[in-house]
Amino acid sequence: MSSSLFAPASMIQNAKENAQEHQWALEAQAQIVSLADPFMGFSDDELWDLMFGCTIMRSWMVWSNGHCPACEEGVSMYNWEIDALKRPWKLGCPHCKELFPKNDFHAFYKSGLDQHGVFQHNLGDRSLLFNEEHPDEDDPLHLFGVDDGNGYRKGDNIWWYVGTYLVYGQWKQVVLGGILNLSAAYAVTGDQAYSHRAGVLLDRVADLYTTFDFRNQAMMYEGLADAGYVSTWHDACEEARQLAQAYDQVRDGLGDDQELADFLSGKATAHSIEHPKDGPQDVMKNIEEGILRDTITHHDRIRSNYPRKEIALVTIHSVLDWPNNREQVDALIDELMEQATAVDGVTGEKGLAGYCSGVIQSLAVFLERFCRVDENFLSEMLERHPRLKETYRFHIDMWCLQQYYPQAGDTGSYATQVDRYVGVPFSNNPGLDPSMYTFLWHMYEETQDVAYVQALYHSNGGTVDGLPYGLFAEDPGGFQKQVQNVIDEVGTEIKLQSVNKEEWRLAILRSGQGADARAVWVDYDSGGAHGHLDGMNLGLFAKGLDLMPDFGYPPVHFGGWSGPKFHWYVSTAGHNTVVVDGQDQERRSGGETTLWSEGCEFRTIRVSGKELYKLAQYERTIVSIDVSDADGYVVDLFRVVGGSDHAKFMHSHFGSLTTEGLSVSPGEEFGYETQMRNFNVDVKATQGWQADWKIEDRYNYLEGGRDIHLRYTDLTNGAEAHTAEAWVALQGYGGNETAWIPRLMIRRKGDRDLSSTFAGVIEAYEDSSAISGIRRLGLEQNDGQACSDSNVAVEIALV
């Protein structure tokens, strides 16, 4: 009888049967074993030597916005190439392929090991610190690229080669990678040769793990780091969970491995290690105490985006003492579920297709994994925590055109698609992890919501072939037939209505179907975890493109988390909204919905956010109106009362901007450290002027060279009209490519308590506009007096 909690004997039997009956399962099993093969060539002594101590400064990146010292091409963030098994102790430039550090650091490392097998700088042989390609001391390159563990330094620049390699090479690829791959191979084969080697690595990690504290031992963005163990906090959290699961997978093999105990006992004696290793139970105790229980004690080192830390701790507690501690684990799970589903079924964390989805992805894997322990677990969770039914609908409801998510907060990059449902982490080769296709099917079985089936079908490329990609599935063929039956009945397109998530504070007004689908969205809060100061930010998806994109994830590789480029992406001025007195909105403040209505050919929302600026009024009204099945327009009203300077910003996709009805001349920049340039202004713009973006499909999302435009017609009284260019990064934090995009600013200035009503019409069209004329009508009260400017009536004539 298997003692593994998350890899029980019944599950392993399913894997063996699938491997006998299905080629894909046989290949999946073989791949799991093949990933362990590199570690089978190591002797026990060599495996034991792989784990390093905490005495060398670690770094999360070589240089966040740096370059290669050889070719001087930019190499930012995580782009240095590391293959620790093929090129140990080296990092490669992705451009010129030069390897660093230039010295044999491994030789220096071995020369500095103390009696406990831990490196000490003062013991290292410094005569080994030279460029191996230039050994002559008189050679000017003799010390070029040399790193003694404290970085290669040239002038004011530091390249943290060894410190970065320790994290991504020696730890993640070799030590942790060895543990995970060996334990997985044991789980699918039962071959004790795998568990034995995994045990060597786990025990050595346990000897040293308690000494690691990333906060005091590492660098992050060229400054001091935050919490963590070997890795920084968010990765340390996942690694702690992975280590617990790996131990769970191999403990059957460790339980009677006296040969392992004898080897580790000898190592303990030779290196003055206090923990006894006389028998297998001693080894297992060392692993449990040194890794699992230490993580529970120092859980601050694995704090992470909710509820990842909580999932890790539940996993660890379960591995340690299930079912004896079931009451404790159930209480932890209930607390976790309550908070994880508290805000419209999710945590409330921003970064819609990033951090927000990432935490519920972790939750999905946890839920499906725990079904291995209790087959009724998901049913019980849905009964005990009804909001869980909203959790995995959330990112279905937020998915626009089945191609995009509103980029609210830290997520995505400028104008890019997300063409797969992000509520779960789909994988066509999950290894020992649960299949997320299976999880969504289970959600369908529990709720009868066909959108889950459509989402899994779409995310598999519109086919049932290969489903559910679960090595442990009981009946893969039957699963495929069931999915196909549902799709045959309801079709592939997820039929979504307009939606308003009033707790998360994001609303989407939808119209059209299929290729003609359109969605206008408004985000009506500011700040929050991974949030931006983006209250009342407006977006539009139409014609297959993101036509009013958010900039996306801040480009932290351009100056870190406090530089001007980071603040530009987070700032209120960096969004399609109104800035008051040049200042950012209040952090962690939100608005409320004051109007919501839908008809056959229109939908509207009004959201108020007085607290965003502590004003008498800060309110946006959006009306989406259909012209035909394929086209429509948006009436946009933004009312602000308070302050003395109101600036409304708007940008679109890549493209060129032309205006009609303006007479512009060079103007002053907006300032306030915004990343804009080339301002031109018409200080006496008259209402009715237009700006037209001719869209450049830079990412080649469309077929056939389509002529897509976005037209804005302004109906604001007493406003200046500015054109400008705004800076954007194009590849998130994965590269250094940037661009300047055209932008509008409509600005009104006055005395204190200025009252402004920004009025405009937005139309996405292809080839030619469906609108022949737009004008703002004058309004009178019953006594003949003119209505205030905040009252707006618009007449729109169609072609």
Q: Is residue 463 part of a domain?
A: yes
Q: Can you tell me the distance from the alpha carbon of 479 to that of 460, in angstroms, rounded to the nearest whole number?
A: 14
Residues 442, 520, single domain; the answer is no
Q: Is residue 705 part of a domain?
A: yes
What confidence tens digit (pLDDT) does each residue in 489-505 have?
999 999 999 999 999 99
Residues 646, 758, single domain; the answer is yes
Residues 6+ apart with CB under 8 A from 215: 224, 225, 226, 227, 228, 301
What confidence tens digit (pLDDT) does each residue in 532-568 have?
999 999 999 999 999 999 999 999 888 877 889 999 9
Q: How does strand 676-685 pair with strand 794-798? A: unpaired
Query: What is the CA angle 482-485-487, rounded to 5?
Result: 110
pLDDT, residue 68, reads 97
Q: Encoding tokens for residue 255? A: 């339980």
Q: Can you tell me the distance from the alpha carbon of 615 to that of 544, in angstroms, rounded to the nearest whole number?
A: 37
Q: Is residue 209 part of a domain?
A: no
Q: Which residues pair with 650 in a beta bridge?
A: 744
Q: Is residue 690 part of a domain?
A: yes
CA separation, residue 703 to residues 380, 707, 708, 711 (Å): 47, 11, 12, 22
- pLDDT averaged over the chain? 96
At 739, the pLDDT band (50, 70, 90 cuts) reads very high
44, 193 Cβ separation under 8 angstroms: no
Q: Is residue 436 part of a domain?
A: yes
More confident site: 330 or 25: 330
pLDDT, residue 618, reads 98
Q: Which of 469, 496, 523 is the last residue of a domain?
A: 496
pLDDT at 592 > cutoff 50 = yes
Q: What are phi and psi of 708, to 5 degrees?
A: -100, 140
What confidence tens digit (pLDDT) does each residue in 324-349 have?
999 999 999 999 999 999 999 999 99
534, 575 Cβ separation under 8 angstroms: yes
Residues 577, 677, single domain; the answer is yes
pLDDT, residue 134, reads 98
Residues 535, 471, single domain; the answer is no
pLDDT, residue 1, reads 43
Buried b (16+ CB within 10 A) or exposed e, 499-528: bbbbebbbbbbbbbeeebbbbbbbbbbbbb
**Half-sphere exposure for 499 (CA within 13 Å, toward CB):** 19
Average pLDDT over residues 632-659: 99
What confidence tens digit (pLDDT) does each residue in 597-622 have?
999 999 999 999 999 999 999 999 99
Q: Is residue 681 part of a domain?
A: yes
Q: Is residue 113 part of a domain?
A: no
Question: Residue 453 — left, alpha, or beta (φ > 0 → left; ψ -120 to 50 → alpha)?
Answer: alpha
pLDDT at 735 > cutoff 80 = no
Q: How does strand 632-641 pair with strand 755-766? A: antiparallel
Buried b (16+ CB within 10 A) or exposed e, 68-78: bbbeeebbbbe
Name the one residue in this structure whose structure tokens are 């789980």. Answer: 187
In angstroms, how far is CA 131 from the centroid of its own chain? Answer: 39
Residues 410, 559, single domain; the answer is no
CATH number at residue 702: 2.70.98.70
Residues 531, 413, single domain; the answer is no
Residues 435, 525, single domain; the answer is no
Residues 6+ apart with CB under 8 A from 782: none
CA separation, residue 539 to residues 48, 423, 649 (Å): 55, 21, 12
Residues 467, 615, single domain; the answer is no
Average pLDDT over residues 107-125: 98
CA separation, residue 691 to residues 146, 539, 718 (Å): 56, 17, 17
Q: Can you tell me the distance from the alpha carbon of 114 to that of 52, in angstroms, rounded to the nearest whole number?
A: 12
Q: Which of 496, 524, 558 is the last residue of a domain?
A: 496
Long-range CB contacts for residues 314-321, cutoff 8 Å, separation at least 24: 314/366, 315/241, 315/244, 315/245, 315/366, 316/240, 316/241, 316/244, 316/292, 318/5, 318/373, 319/5, 319/6, 319/244, 319/245, 319/247, 319/248, 319/292, 320/288, 320/292, 320/293
Listed residue (565, 465, 6) closest to 244, CA to CA? 6
Q: Which helix (H) or strand (E) holds 596?
A: strand 592-598
In angstroms, how far is CA 168 from the centroid of its own chain? Answer: 19
Name the one residue in this structure whose structure tokens are 């993580």. Answer: 295
Residues 479, 562, single domain; the answer is no
Burial class (CB in 10 A: 0-12, 13-18, 19+), 60: buried
Query: What total number of domains does the chain contain?
Result: 2
Angle between helical axes of 377-384 and 355-370 (0-180°, round to 10): 130
Q: Encoding tokens for residue 104? A: 């044999």
423, 394 Cβ separation under 8 angstroms: yes
Residues 446, 538, single domain; the answer is no
Average pLDDT over residues 176-198: 97
Residues 6+ apart with CB under 8 A from 86: none
3-class DSSP assignment, residue 351 = coil
Residues 672, 786, single domain; the answer is yes
Question: For residue 702, what are the domain limits?
Answer: 515-798
Q: Can you tell me the distance from the alpha carbon of 599 to that of 601, in angstroms, rounded to the nearest whole number?
A: 6
| pTM score, whole prediction | 0.91
Q: Which of 438, 466, 496 is the last residue of a domain?
A: 496
Q: Rounded to a whole number, what is the distance in angstroms from the first to the last CA of the chain?
A: 76
Name the one residue in this structure whose structure tokens are 């163990």. Answer: 229
Return the amino acid letter for 4: S
Residues 414, 462, single domain; the answer is yes
Q: Is residue 139 part of a domain?
A: no
Average pLDDT over residues 427-437: 93
